[in-house]
Amino acid sequence: MMRSILIGILVLMAAGVGFITFQWYRTMNGGEPYGAAFSLVDQKGAEITEAAFRDQPTAVFFGFTHCPEICPTTLFELDGLLKKLGDEGKNIRVYFVTVDPERDTPEVLDAYVSNVSDRITGITGSPEKIAAMTKSFGIYSKKVPLDGGDYTMDHTASVLLLSNGGDFAGTIAYEENPDTALAKLKRLATEG
């Protein structure tokens, strides 16, 4: 019983720190929506800008197609949550932004994302533009060399939730309790 209370307090404290951090960001950013302006391409090669994140509730996950576990698991779980929401979540847009644009071309992203969901849109661009976008959204990513000349990517594993105005509305952590994640998406859908 005491352990559950302590865990609950820690979760509330972490949420409070996250909220304060993002409110500080908005204050420092002149009250503008979360993240900076960007111009990238989607998995079909069409231009996509920050406007896509600002006219409907949005879930954004940063990852890469060569990811062995976290990225495919997160995308699969997001698709499952959207299916559970049904019509209640039809206004939520979901984006998968690559942190590995050297390998993740629009064609590669299209094949990857299309195998998981028709509700998720892949986004890529030049390494410089992707780096600027990830930085503006507070996303950590780093290329990690592997033996034999290959590499992998370390990156933030949380899904960002943005309101229909582009404001930060929370996160879904990797392997978060599915009921909690579903409740967050329901709140995002209804509160926009």
Contact 141, 28 (CB under 8 A): no
Q: Which pLDDT value is given to residue 27?
A: 42
Task: Tell me which of 13-17, 75-79, 152-156, 188-192 is least confident.
Answer: 13-17
Per-residue pLDDT reduced to its tens digit, 31-75: 556 788 999 999 999 999 999 998 899 999 999 999 999 999 999
Separation of alpha carbons 35 and 57, rounded Å: 15
Confirm or reject CATH 2.40.128.50 for domain 36-191, answering yes or no: no
Q: Tokens for 38, please give them.
A: 């960007």
How far is CA 167 from its chain centroid?
13
Residue 83: pLDDT band (50, 70, 90) is: very high
The percentage of residues in the chain with a pLDDT greater than 70, rounded to a whole number, is 83
Per-residue pLDDT reduced to its tens digit, 89-139: 999 999 999 999 999 999 999 999 999 999 999 999 999 999 999 999 999
Q: Which pLDDT value is given to residue 2?
A: 59
Q: Which pLDDT value is given to residue 75?
A: 97
Q: Which pLDDT value is given to residue 138?
A: 92
| Residue corresponding to tokens 């949420």 | 15
Separation of alpha carbons 187 and 168, rounded Å: 13
Residue 191: pLDDT band (50, 70, 90) is: confident
Residue 23 has pLDDT above 50, yes or no: no
Q: Which pLDDT value is given to residue 55?
A: 86
Per-residue pLDDT reduced to its tens digit, 149-163: 999 999 999 999 999
Q: Give the residue numbers of the binding site for Cu cation.
A: 67, 71, 155
Separation of alpha carbons 110 and 118, rounded Å: 10
Mean pLDDT for the chain overall:
87
Angle between helices 178-191 and 70-85 (to 10 degrees): 60
Q: Give the residue numbers of the binding site.
A: 67, 71, 155
Separation of alpha carbons 102 and 25, rounded Å: 29
Contact 66, 152 (CB under 8 A): yes
Q: Which pLDDT value is given to residue 34?
A: 77
Separation of alpha carbons 162 and 59, rounded Å: 6
Q: Where are the domains of the chain?
A: 1-32, 36-191
